[in-house]
Amino acid sequence: MRTQIAVVGAGPAGLLLAHLLRLEGLDAVVLETRQREHVLSRIRAGVLEPGTVDVLREAGLGARLDRAGLEHQGFSLRFDGAEHRIALTELTGKSITVYGQQEVVRDLLDAAEPEPWFGVSDVVLHEVTTDRPSVTFTDADGIARTLHCEVIAGCDGFHGVSRNAVPVTCCERAFPYSWLGILAKTPPAHHELIYAHHERGFALHSMRSPELTRLYLQVAPDERLDDWPEDRIWEELVLRLGTACEPGPLVEKGITSMRAFVAEPMRHGRLFLAGDAAHIVPPTGAKGLNLAVADVALLSKALTSLLLHGRDGNALSYSDVRLRAAWRAERFSTEMTEMLHRSADPFEQRLSLARLRRVASSTAAATALAQDYVGSSEGA
């Protein structure tokens, strides 16, 4: 088998990269260890920055997004028993769009040509520092194959094989709390997102559609799902959010650890990392999917310049440019996380409240927060 670009991973980063490359006339083959149904069922991020929406529209992927996406011009911060609205559009001239990551993936799979190779195993990357790398794998029928290519794009997440093929320096941080998240078949309790700082811990009210609500609670890192029956979850959400949430059937329930991670560099020879293979941000800042889209938007241009025109400048600078954006996103996401979560340290807890009060009382501070939230012109 032969192609120009082997894309490892059929998440939003890998699928979008392959789509953008095909629009430029390049061949790309996508390999994925999971089955198609699993890829479509993964419930992840739902907040799209305007830059992300622009990329999807320009790639011909905006039809369903424009019909079903929910435009939001602000969000609420709730603390000290009061609500403080961050007016994104008023402060920045921009808005965000709520549209689930799994919906983006569905749009990408509907547009994919050819279909990704799902259910592969034993994926190994070879000769990535040469101009003739390859990928060996076993397909879903148990047949061993070799995919020869000119470039490999590692879009297979933190636990994938691509990151381990790059001699990276890893910078990591684990936070002393986790998120208990649910997706429920119930109308949202508020027309915008709510970020709540409460004495019992952080809570987030989000949505995926007018019928689906996404909700999160700060819990201890060693918390067990069995300790959180549905009645307890809904009671705690109402208490922390200060909003009457109507209980509904749960579509998903899980606990996610809170961590940050950056791998440096994001390029090794002809192997390029993108998305969660290169960086993970705390979800509080809603940056993960947006960062991945910005990665592959730049990478598609760099690979087009390299493979079609023989110019390697953008490919050589890709890692440096995207790492600067990754660290901007890490900075903002970490600040949001520490500001909104309940800390067991009295000093940190009082700092969090001081930061929130400043945002609520200072137009300059609220504007800075809003600009970070909607995404900078530099793609972070």
Domain boundaries, the chain: 5-73+93-171+259-374, 181-258
Rounded Cα–Cα distance for residues 104 and 99 (Å) = 8
CA distance 4 to 167: 24
φ, ψ of residue 89 in degrees (nearest 5):
-70, -40
DSSP code, position 186: S
Distance, C-alpha 305 to centroid of its chain: 26
Q: What percent of the chain has pLDDT over 70?
A: 99
Mean pLDDT of 133-160: 97
Mean pLDDT, to the nearest integer, of 153-170?
A: 95
Residue 180 scores a pLDDT above 90:
yes
Annotated catalytic residues are: 72, 195, 283, 287, 373
Place of tokens 């101009």: 131
- In this prediction, residues 217-227 reach a mean pLDDT of 96
Query: φ and ψ at 120, to 5 degrees?
Result: -80, 165
Q: Over the stretch 49-77, which tens digit does the pLDDT of each residue have? A: 999 999 999 999 999 999 999 999 999 99
Q: Which fold has domain 181-258?
A: D-Amino Acid Oxidase; Chain A, domain 2 (3.30.9)
Assess whether pLDDT exceeds 50 at residue 380. Answer: no
Q: Is residue 379's pLDDT more than 50?
A: no
CB 326, CB 262: distance < 8 Å: yes
pLDDT at 44: 77
| pLDDT single digits (tens) 7-64 | 999 999 999 999 999 999 999 999 999 999 999 988 777 899 999 999 999 999 999 9
Instruction: Taking residues 305-324, report their average pLDDT.
Output: 97
Superfamily of domain 5-73+93-171+259-374: FAD/NAD(P)-binding domain (3.50.50.60)
- Percent of the residues in the chain that have a pLDDT greater than 90, as a whole number: 96
CA atoms 228, 234, 236, 241: torsion sign? positive
Q: What ranges in 24-141 are assigned the alpha helix state H?
A: 36-41, 50-58, 63-68, 88-92, 101-111
Phi, psi of 285 (to 5 degrees): -90, 0
Quote the pTM value: 0.95
pLDDT at 302: 98
Predicted local distance difference test score (pLDDT) of residue 102: 92
Alpha-carbon dihedral angle through residues 305, 307, 312, 318, given to the nearest 10 degrees: 70
For position 41, what pLDDT does the model report?
85
**pLDDT at residue 377 in the model:** 52
Please tell me if the domain spanning 5-73+93-171+259-374 has the same topology as the one spanning 181-258.
Answer: no
By C-alpha distance, which of 371, 379, 341 is closest to 96? 371
Segment 101-111 shows an average pLDDT of 96
What is the mean pLDDT of the segment spanning 86-112? 96
**Mean pLDDT of the residues in the chain:** 96
Q: What is the pLDDT of residue 130?
A: 97
Token pair of 121 as six digits: 């195993």
What is the residue type of 96?
Answer: I
- Complete edge-to-edge strand list for the sheet that includes strand 267-268: 28-31, 5-8, 151-154, 271-273, 267-268
